[in-house]
Amino acid sequence: MKIKIISNILFVLAFLISLTGCGKDNYDEPGSTLIGKITYNGESLHLRGTGEAIRLQLYQDGYAKRDPISVYVGQDGDFSAVLFPGEYKLVTRDGNGPWVNTRDTVVVNLKGTATVELEVTPFFTVSGENLTVSSTAMNASFTINQIVPTAKIQRAMLILSKTQFADDVNNLFRKDFSDISVGTVSLSADISGNADVANAEALYARVGVQAVGADQAIYSEVVRLR
């Protein structure tokens, strides 16, 4: 008799566990995709894309939990996220990025796939870059465009990397320059003693400009030199 009771109890427990497992399996998975880019005047901004350095935040109203969903931005200003359908607010993270800290916001009604542009106001932009290397030097000429009249340049950077991911942290070589003015800039850096650069099978170059008070720099596009 006791054996039968124990068997019945085990059967009930197994049944309940199976129901719980089925419940988990029947939960809907996120099925909508948000695709976007960070822009200024309709043009994508070039940023640091490694180390999850630049993040956006997604909020949904009407829920008790108000913690934001982090969305990581790539070096060409692109981002994406797989989410549940619904209305979201896409917001720049406080004090993060080479742009004016105004908490720029876009409302997204997501069902299926949505493509958005998040327009910001960068302190500076970089254009007209010409980057070269020889056996002894990296040379760069480019234009620094002032967007925010009160912004000041903290530093300009020349960067070389063995991969297409090149920034102030991910690199084979980086040279910082201070006392840089807005306008056309010509810079040169000695790389004659850098074995990593000399031995790299592939070499990519980039320049960056960081404003005083900004946690991130604005960059040029990545150029492959060899």
The DSSP bridge pattern shows strands 113-119 and 32-40 to be parallel
Please tell me which residue, 59 or 13, carries the higher pLDDT value.
59
Please state the separation of Cα 52 from the chain's center in Å.
Answer: 6
pLDDT number for residue 78: 97
pLDDT number for residue 63: 61
- Tell me which residue of 135, 224, 122, 132 sits closest to 187, measured CA to CA: 132
Please tell me which residue, 87 or 176, carries the higher pLDDT value.
176
Residues 6+ apart with CB under 8 A from 20: none
- Kindly tell me if the per-residue pLDDT of 28 is higher than 90: no
- Kindly tell me if the per-residue pLDDT of 213 is higher than 60: yes
Task: Give the model confidence (pLDDT) of 97-144 as tens digits.
Answer: 999 998 878 898 888 898 999 999 999 999 999 999 999 999 999 999
- Kindly tell me if the per-residue pLDDT of 17 is higher than 60: no
- Tell me which residue of 127, 158, 103 sits closest to 43, measured CA to CA: 127
pLDDT number for residue 19: 43
- Tell me which residue of 208, 198, 207, 197 sits closest to 161, measured CA to CA: 197
Other CB atoms within 10 A of residue 157 CB: 22
DSSP H or E stretch at residue 165: none
CATH number of 124-224: 2.60.40.2060
DSSP assignment of 10-66: HHHHHHHHHHHHHHHHTSPPP-EEEEEEEEETTEEPP---STT-SEEEEE-TT-S--
Q: How many separate helices (H) and strands (E) can be counted in the chain? A: 2, 16
pLDDT number for residue 13: 42
pLDDT number for residue 64: 57
Measured between alpha carbons, how far is 113 from 158 in angstroms, rounded to an integer? 38
Task: Give the model confidence (pLDDT) of 146-192 as tens digits.
Answer: 999 999 999 999 999 999 999 999 999 999 999 999 999 999 999 99
Residues 6+ apart with CB under 8 A from 30: 82, 83, 84
- Kindly tell me if the per-residue pLDDT of 3 is higher than 90: no
CATH number of 32-119: 2.60.40.1120
- Kindly tell me if the per-residue pLDDT of 74 is higher than 60: yes
Domain boundaries, the chain: 32-119, 124-224
- Tell me which residue of 114, 207, 123 sits closest to 157, measured CA to CA: 207
Do domains 32-119 and 124-224 share one topology? The answer is: yes
- Kindly tell me if the per-residue pLDDT of 23 is higher than 90: no
pLDDT number for residue 104: 77
pLDDT bin (cut points 50, 70, 90) of residue 65 is low
